[in-house]
Structure 1
Amino acid sequence: MATNVLHPAGWRRKATRLDEHLPVDHQLSRFYRAGAGLMGLVLVVFGILGLIDRIGIFDTGGDTVAGLNTNGALSILSICVGLLLFIGMVIGGNFASTLNMFIGIAFILSGFVNLALLDSSANFLAFEMPNVLFSFVVGVLLMMFGMYGRVSGGLPHDNPYWRARHPERASTEQRRRRTPMPEVTNGKRL
């Protein structure tokens, strides 16, 4: 009964979906691509530098690359994730955005899991505290690159995600833009 007061009859909220289609040339697509490409490049370079040292796949001896502990498994995993981000960069659009978000969440979860495994025998990726912090930073950056323009309180009204969340106001604004104003010449309507 109380729900009728809060939600009048006929009022339905449209569910927001993250996979709404953007125009192919939308400005946000470039941002998603740049984020995926930049983070993919960082991971691929880290992985290649780790493989160049010819360390063992599951060696936990403390080999470092760019201040981060690494082994062969972490290097190969970094290259694979970096290549996946490059694929997202090539495809672009909502795919790159969604991929950035999911990989960002995976990096944050990996940071927490590896934080718990730091001094245990299950630390087969040879993580140390700088690796955990790096995982958190990369995760947050990827999530920012993925969510930018899709999840915000201040989206501009021409943003397709804002229009999907506010269909009534978007249609009103669109009608307002379509209705031409009468031309006035010398104080008289034409």
Structure 2
Amino acid sequence: MAHTPVNHPARPIYRAIGGLTGLYLVVFGVLGVIASLGDEFFAQDDTKALGQGTNLAFSLLSILIGALVLAGTALGRNRDVAINQYTAYGLMVIAMFSLAFLQTDANILNFSVATVVVTMLLGLVLLMVGMYGKVGTEEDQKAWQDARLLL
């Protein structure tokens, strides 16, 4: 993509932010599993972790997503960029789906409004991290710089 920066000077900071986001998802998931032990997999009750509604399904999904983001951060070399961007899109879709069905029986992940806001925010942070974490050769950076200057 010609519109995303290559070798951005703040790339290490964005990579660290991505790692912290993945760590947050793992911690939230583990606390959610602890809080929802003994409940049904798709329980729709008042179980909360870190102030957000959750159930066993969403807690395990959060652990999986967080581990994926952490693995991408550890691997680097543009694998993290793709993982962060696609994970961000997935989180935003989950948040919008859950917002649409918040007060219905289709709220299978036991979301609350706070959970929707935090999930959307995490998706936006991962999208930002994915856009500014791209690495490349000097030629890639020059091509990006030339394309940016033409706009």
1:122 is aligned to 2:106: yes
Partner of 1:30: 12
1:88-115 deviations in whole A, cap 9, x for unaligned? 0111121112211221122122211111
How many angstroms apart in 2 are the aligned matches of 1:124 and 1:58?
Answer: 6
**Distance apart, 1:164 and its partner CA:** 2.3
Amino acid aligned to 2:30:
I
**Distance apart, 1:28 and its partner CA:** 5.6
Amino acid aligned to 1:85:
V
Bigger Rg, which one: 1
Q: Which has the higher contact order (CA 8 A, sep 6+)?
A: 2
Partner of 1:141: 125
Three-state SS of the structure 1 residue aligned to 2:78 is: helix
**Distance apart, 1:16 and its partner CA:** 3.0
Q: Closer, same or farther in 2 for the Cα pair 1:123/1:160, shift >3 Å? A: farther
Aligned counterpart in structure 2 of residue 83 of structure 1, from 32, 47, 67: 67
Higher helix fraction: Structure 1 or Structure 2? 2
1:100 is aligned to 2:84: yes
Q: Which runs of 5+ in 2 are unaligned?
A: none
Q: Closer, same or farther in 2 for the Cα pair 1:160/1:133, shift >3 Å? A: farther
Aligned counterpart in structure 2 of residue 66 of structure 1, from 46, 50, 54: 50
* Greater Cα shift, 69-78 or 90-99: 90-99
Q: Which runs of 5+ in 1 are unaligned?
A: 1-14, 151-157, 170-190
The alignment's TM-score, normalised by the length of structure 2, stands at 0.81
Partner of 1:16: 2
Three-state SS of the structure 1 residue aligned to 2:2 is: coil
Over the aligned positions, Cα root-mean-square deviation in angstroms equals: 2.7
Partner of 1:185: none
Amino acid aligned to 1:95:
R
